[in-house]
Amino acid sequence: MKKIITLLLVSLLALSSLAGCNKPGEPEAKTIKIGLSGPLTGGAAIYGVAVKNGAELAIAEINAKGGLQLEINMQDDEADATKADTAYDFLLDWGMQVSMFTVTSGAGSGVAPRYDEDHIFALTPSGSAPALVYSDTKVYATTFQMCFSDPNQGVGSADYIKEHNLGTKVAIIYKSDCVYSTGITQKFVDRAAEIGLEIVFQGAFDDSSATDFTTQLQGAKAADADVMFLPIYYTPASSILKQAADMSYAPIFFGVDGMDGILTMDGFDTSLAEGVYLLTPFAADATDDATVHFVTEYQKAYGEIPNQFAADAYDVVYALYQALVAGGVTYDMTAQEIADILIEQFTTMTFDGVTGTSVTWAANGEVSKAPKAVIIRNGVYVNAE
């Protein structure tokens, strides 16, 4: 009984702290508020942290110029769609005017319809699933992508393997509970059937078995696969490379953009990745001015080499900045007014960043970047064309 009353009092306290109203007459806004959510804790936190770092670096640079001031608020969603939903509401309360959407596809597909309904502009750095920009029945007007989409990568990879005669028998290892991985795999398989690429083995794994690949590798080896397509992130990919080497199995490995980052993994033996192909919009060792500047600044700030998530986030902030300035957005505009301006800007402008030059966006929100294949030689990316 006493317990109940104490609990009641505590809950009332909790309630009162949650309730509140949007006070009128807030101090005049001096920044554009950019919100986003991503995994800052949990298994996918590495992507969230990279995006956070990249975005904060860009914002620090932009704010130092003294022009339009930006402010960022990143909420943790643990790459979970329902948590992203809550984070979205938190950001609404905070007064988000523009959004960087979510870091992961799984979380983003949950909030995409809400951005559309509430008419808030959102540009995701790394959510590559089509479900972020359109569904079976409708195109979300306000959501845009900075990274190339999954179908694009699946088709691109199949074409590349076929055109360059990398091999005749393809094995695939993919992550069955990941929107990104299954999305690419499906397109790859469809495309392979169209162009006559033989797939001899398909092995799946999920979160609970993301470390042990010996069985799948043995299956692929038994099927005599000479190319192994890995539409997965680099953490499991590094284990696959290692375990394949352990069993003296050496097909040509072909990864997609998630493979990026494998060379900068703490303690990874880069010789294992020798000869691996991957698709990436960003190579940290490129020599153009923009990339060099970004990589050195990033290293100065965070002490590590940026991966493509950080690069995409960096570009997202600059693309938003470019559009905000070009559209003449002011601090006091509502999110909906800004959305109208940004939609018009993004469908008409071209953008140059570290992950691509002359980038444009289609009306449905997809980016025009083409997947580019690179091969790893002596521990660096070399253009594979």
Partner 1 sequence: MKKTIRKIFDKKHISRTISYLVVIAGFVIIQLLMNTIGIKSLFRSLLVPTCCYIVVALALNLVVGVSGELSLGHSGFMAVGAFTGIIISGLLEPYLAINWLRLLIAMFVGGIMAGIVGLFISVPVLKLQGDYLAIVTLAFCQIIKSLLNNVYLGVDINGLHFSFVENRISLAQGGRMLLSGPMGAIAITRLATFTAGFLLILFTLLIIYNLTYSRFGRSIMAARDNRIAAESVGIHIRNTKMLAFVISAILAGMAGALFGLNYSTLQPAKFDFNLSILILVYVVLGGLGNMTGTIISTMILYALPELLRGLQDYRMLIYSIILILIMLVTNNQTLKEKTENLITKIKSRFLKKGSVAHD
Partner 2 sequence: MAFLSYLINGMGLGSVYAIIALGYTMVYGIAKMLNFAHGDVIMIGAYTAFYCLTVFKFSTFTSILIAVLLCTVLGILIERFAYKPLRKASSLSVLITAIGVSYFLQNLAQILFGTNPKVFPELMRNSTFSLFDGQLTLSYKTLLTIIVCILIMILLTIFVNKTKTGKAMRACSQDKEAAQLMGINVDNTISITFALGSGLAAIAAVLLCMTYSTFTPTLGSMPGIKAFTAAVFGGIGSIPGAFVGGLLLGIIETLTKAYLSTQLSDAIVFMVLIIVLLIRPTGLLGKKVHEKV
Please report, as ranges, the residues that interact with partner 1 according to CB under 8 A: 2-4, 7-8, 10-11, 14-15, 17-22, 40-41, 75-76, 80-82, 85-86, 88-90, 92-93, 106, 109-114, 129, 131, 135-138, 176-179, 182-183, 186, 206-207
- The correct pick among 6, 11, 82, 215 for binding partner 2 (CB under 8 A) is 215
- The correct pick among 89, 194, 246, 285 for binding partner 2 (CB under 8 A) is 246
Q: Does 212 interact with partner 2 (rule: CB under 8 A)?
A: yes
Q: Does 235 interact with partner 2 (rule: CB under 8 A)?
A: yes
Find all residues with CB under 8 Å of 18, minimum gap 6, and list them.
none
Q: Which residues pair with 148 in a beta bridge?
A: none
Binds 136: which of partner 1, partner 2, none (CB < 5-8 Å by kind): partner 1
CA torsion through residues 152, 177, 123, 74, sign: negative
3-state secondary structure of 136: coil
Q: Say if residue 383 is exposed, middle or buried (CB neighbours under 10 Å; 0-12, 13-18, 19+).
A: exposed
Residue 207 or 304: which CB sits closer to partner 1? 207
Q: In which element (H, E) is residue 173 found?
A: strand 169-175
User: Minimum distance between the CB of residue 210 and partner 1, rounded to whole angstroms?
Assistant: 13
Using alpha carbons, select from 276, 178, 188 the residue that is nearest to residue 232. Answer: 178
User: Minimum distance between the CB of residue 216 and partner 2, rounded to whole angstroms?
Assistant: 6
- The correct pick among 90, 95, 119, 219 for binding partner 2 (CB under 8 A) is 219
Q: Say if residue 20 is exposed, middle or buried (CB neighbours under 10 Å; 0-12, 13-18, 19+).
A: exposed
Q: Which stretch binds partner 2 (CB under 8 A): 55-63, 197-205, 273-281, 348-356?
A: 197-205
Residues numbered 35-54 forming contacts with partner 2, rule: CB under 8 A: 41-43, 45-46, 49
- The correct pick among 216, 280, 291, 308 for binding partner 2 (CB under 8 A) is 216
Binds 126: which of partner 1, partner 2, none (CB < 5-8 Å by kind): none
- CA pair distance 28, 51, nearest whole angstrom: 29
Using alpha carbons, select from 118, 122, 121 the residue that is nearest to residue 100. Answer: 122
User: Minimum distance between the CB of residue 162 and partner 1, rounded to whole angstroms?
Assistant: 22
Find all residues with CB under 8 Å of 163, minimum gap 6, and list them.
none
- The correct pick among 186, 239, 322, 364 for binding partner 2 (CB under 8 A) is 239
Residue 218 structure tokens: 């043995």
- CA pair distance 230, 146, nearest whole angstrom: 22
Residue 106 or 353: which CB sits closer to partner 1? 106
Do residues 195 and 220 touch, judged by C-beta distance below 8 A? no
Q: Does 186 interact with partner 2 (rule: CB under 8 A)?
A: no
Using alpha carbons, select from 61, 141, 136, 78 the residue that is nearest to residue 346. Answer: 141
Do residues 160 and 381 touch, judged by C-beta distance below 8 A? no
Binds 215: which of partner 2, partner 1, none (CB < 5-8 Å by kind): partner 2
Do residues 172 and 185 touch, judged by C-beta distance below 8 A? yes
- The correct pick among 17, 137, 165, 208 for binding partner 2 (CB under 8 A) is 208
Residues numbered 252-271 forming contacts with partner 2, rule: CB under 8 A: 265-269
- The correct pick among 156, 203, 353, 365 for binding partner 2 (CB under 8 A) is 203
- CA pair distance 72, 55, nearest whole angstrom: 8
* Amino acid identity, position 374: V
Residue 15 or 64: which CB sits closer to partner 1? 15
End-to-end Cα spacing for the chain? 74
- CA pair distance 71, 301, nearest whole angstrom: 18
- The correct pick among 89, 117, 198, 207 for binding partner 2 (CB under 8 A) is 207
Longest dimension (CA), the chain: 76
Binds 161: which of partner 2, partner 1, none (CB < 5-8 Å by kind): none
Do residues 290 and 314 touch, judged by C-beta distance below 8 A? no
Q: Does 193 interact with partner 2 (rule: CB under 8 A)?
A: no
Residue 206 or 224: which CB sits closer to partner 1? 206
Q: Does 3 interact with partner 2 (rule: CB under 8 A)?
A: no
Footprint on this chain of partner 2 (rule: CB under 8 A): 41-43, 45-46, 49, 176, 203-212, 214-216, 218-219, 222, 235-236, 238-239, 242-243, 246-248, 265-269
